[in-house]
Amino acid sequence: MRSLENIQKTRIFIVFLFLLKPFIFVWHLFVRFFLLKFYRVYLRISKAAKERIFVNRNRFLFIFTHRYVIHISIILAAFFVGAQNIRAQEATVSDLGRNSFLSALVDTENQDVVETAESNTATQSSSLSYIDSTGLIKAVQPKIGDVDFDVDSGVAESGSALVRTNVATTTISDKTRTDVEYHIVEGGETISTIAQKYKVSVKTILDENGLKESDFIKPGDKLTILPLSGVSHQVKSGDTLQAIANKYKADVDKIIEYNQLASADDIHADEILIVPGGVAPPPPTPPKPVASSGSLAAVKNFFSNDAPPAAAPSGGKFQWPTSCRRISQYFRYGHTGVDIDCEFGDPIYAPESGVVTHAGWEGAYGISVIINHGGGFSTRLAHLQTLYVSSGQSVSRGQSVGQMGSTGRSTGSHLHYEVRISGAAANPLSY
């Protein structure tokens, strides 16, 4: 077995030598005809140099071939660098290359010049040379009073000069809204910030959404935002464009132009028109009782019998107790009812038929009415300013029982509305 391996290795070695022969032949040719001849020439030249210019006989070569010449060169270089640092001074950009050897060779016609392009209006400028006429750089310095610092310009390369040119800029203006948008109120937003965001007036948002300045908005509320300050109007049968303009104190031509109407007669019933610059007319204020002088008059006003008509049935188990539906505080732990924020003097209605068990002053509730509806249900209407009912009186559903006020521990005109079941407070919105 080993003999077979040795035979195999021998064959491989023979093949390797056979393949190596051409390279050996080329190497022998190179050494014989090139390397050896070159070495012979080198020996002859070296021998002749030693005989003719021997180092010990030539003072010039002796100096530059001395073993300490490197040390001396390093010392001289360090001394030169130190001297230059001691003499160093602060240099400005305009001094760069001022005294260089290259600047002396450069022709004055090929000097670099920095030019500042002038604006469209003619400006007077004075040329200020920072160096003499043989220097490298010249600068054109315009008068400070004539420079327009608001002009946007770029620097373009032209030939051998850097030229400051005016670059056209494009100003992107805000896109004009043409459609009605809907905004979902987020935390921390107010009517004012929303109006500023959409570039409309605060009154436009209030009028379009049926709100008043004292109303509250909360996160999640959906507000209608008109494309510009004004009001929207739904055309009714018999409406004319002139009547609409008079109602909102607007201009007929602006209404036609904005809504792209062919003429003043080009309106149809149920069509929604945008009235630019229109102002919604104020809502009619409810009549308020006239107070007369004297304590007896105040008592008569407190227990007034001039109650407004009952409210129309609204469906559901309990009648909504007032004319608006703005809730400023909801039912929660520590707050046993809901606060309904309406105007001072708005009517208060009985939520359901029943018997008045209390009508008068009730501590922090101020002037309040408590109605027993039977079946364990009772309601409390608090912070009133005027009463139309008295204790023991039977009331019907929707009957006016008083006027909204801010008596007791109250922070502004509102109604505190409670629903109780067997004496325990319940969420009025569930009933």
**Average pLDDT score over residue span 350-379:** 93
Could you tell me the pLDDT band of residue 66, with boundaries at 50, 70 and 90? low
Report the pLDDT value the prediction gives residue 349, as an integer from 0 to 100. Answer: 94
Q: Which CATH code of 3.90.79.10, 3.10.350.10, 2.40.340.10, 3.10.50.40 fits the domain covering 181-224? A: 3.10.350.10
Out of 17-31, 126-140, 160-174, give the one with best mean pLDDT: 17-31
Higher-pLDDT residue of 96 and 37 is: 37
Express each pLDDT in 79-116 by its tens digit: 888 888 887 655 555 555 566 655 665 544 445 545 55
Q: For residue 53, what pLDDT is reported?
A: 57
Q: What is the pLDDT of residues 224-263, one digit of tens each?
A: 999 999 999 888 888 888 999 998 989 989 999 998 888 8
pLDDT of residue 412: 83
User: pLDDT by residue (tens digit) across 386-405?
Assistant: 999 999 999 999 999 999 99
Geometric angle at alpha carbon 291, from 289 and 292, rounded to 5°: 140
With a pLDDT cut of 70, the percent of the chain lying above it is 66
Is pLDDT above 60 for 292? no
pLDDT at 135 (0 to 100): 45
Distance of CA 297 to the CA centre of its chain: 59
* pTM of the complete model beyond 0.75: no
228-283: what fold?
Membrane-bound Lytic Murein Transglycosylase D; Chain A (3.10.350)
Q: Could you give the percent of the chain with pLDDT greater than 90? A: 21
Question: What local confidence, expressed as pLDDT, does residue 404 receive?
Answer: 93
61 compared with 292, residue with greater pLDDT = 61
**Per-residue pLDDT at 330:** 87
Per-residue confidence at 381, pLDDT binned at 50, 70, 90? very high
Q: Hey, where are the domains in the chain? A: 97-166, 181-224, 228-283, 295-430
* Per-residue confidence (pLDDT) for residue 283, from 0 to 100: 63
pLDDT band for position 157 (cuts 50, 70, 90)? very low
Look up the CATH number of domain 295-430.
2.70.70.10
* 301-354: pLDDT as tens digits: 555 555 565 554 444 578 899 988 888 888 888 888 999 988 888 999 999 999
Question: Is 181-224's fold the same as 228-283's?
Answer: yes
